[in-house]
Amino acid sequence: MSRSRRLFRKIQKSMPDLVLCKDMLVIPPTEHVVRGFLLEATSERERVYLWKVVTPLLRPIRRVILNYSDRISGGEPNLYIRKDAFEESAENIRDIINEEVEYLRGIRHPHDFLRHASWVVEGSPLLARFDQALIRYLIGDAQQSVRAFRALDREADQLDDGRREYIGPLLKRIVLEIDKDPAGLAALLGEWEQQNVERLGLEPSRLLSKRP
């Protein structure tokens, strides 16, 4: 069992509302956006980064992307998981997580995500504008998002092969769907989302936990 999973399993015992999905502690229910906490190793032994994760699931991803996430440390300069003080390390991280749970609960719906990622504007990175357009489509802003997809597709055509490799085919697929039937795009996004849920092991967090 990984260090992350061991630590989060310990924390989860005192925070039963959260769900452990692979190596990530997730706030249920996961709908179109996954929210939770993730540990990242560093080049220094035992030092970790703790991420407050917000990741939309509408485009195919192989793992949780951290573009909309933040590193948190509860004001400490560095966070460690000490092998010889595992309990203490877990308590420290639990306390930091505890401070952030309510904020993440508030990023449940697509329009919450738009508020969270309000730094995404015209001229922001292509992937960020792509995510924004996908979310806008989901909340019913179909006309504007369809225009955005077409513009992003044209923009992606100008990229070099390396940068187009991931986003290019996705945009082509979306434009193809739009040309057939703009309303049909919802099915494709649903399919991608479900694939992400399976790939990232998020199924247990799809259901809302029983809260007192």
Partner 1 sequence: MGSGRGHNTREGKDRDEVQSKTDADSAAEAALVERTTAILHYVVLLVSSAIARQPGSSAQTHGTNVHTAFAKVVRKMNLPGIGQIGVEQSFDKDGLASYGADDSIRTDVVLRNPKGVIIAIYDLKTGNAIIRPSRAKELRTLTGAGPDVPVMELHSVRGLMQR
Among 69, 89, 92, 205, binds partner 1 (CB under 8 A): 69
**Angle subtended at Cα 28 by Cα 36 and Cα 126, rounded to the nearest 5 degrees:** 50
Stretch of 44-52, 148-156, 178-186, 187-195 lying at the interface with partner 1 (CB under 8 A): 44-52
Nearest distance in Å: CB 44, partner 1: 5
Q: Which of residues 125-154 bind partner 1 (CB under 8 A)?
A: 125-128
Per-residue binder mask for partner 1 (CB under 8 A), 88-117, x = binder: ----------------------------xx
Stretch of 5-13, 56-64, 87-95, 133-141 lying at the interface with partner 1 (CB under 8 A): 56-64
Q: Does 121 bind partner 1 (CB under 8 A)?
A: yes
Among 13, 63, 82, 147, binds partner 1 (CB under 8 A): 63
Please report which helix (H) or strand (E) contains residue 33, including its range.
Answer: strand 33-41
- For residues 152 and 75, give the distance between their C-alpha atoms in angstroms, rounded to a whole number: 39
Sequence letter at residue 22: K
β-bridge mates for residue 50, sequence order: 39, 72
Among 75, 140, 162, 212, binds partner 1 (CB under 8 A): 162
CB neighbourhood size of 67 (10 A): 13
DSSP state of 71: E
- Dihedral angle of Cα 197, 157, 124, 196, to the nearest 10 degrees: 0
Looking at beta carbons only, is 18 or 200 nearer to partner 1?
200
- For residues 129 and 134, give the distance between their C-alpha atoms in angstroms, rounded to a whole number: 9
- For residues 91 and 96, give the distance between their C-alpha atoms in angstroms, rounded to a whole number: 9
Q: Does 1 bind partner 1 (CB under 8 A)?
A: no
User: Given the rule CB under 8 A, which residues bind partner 1?
Assistant: 38, 40-44, 49, 51, 60-71, 73, 77-78, 116-128, 160, 162-163, 165-166
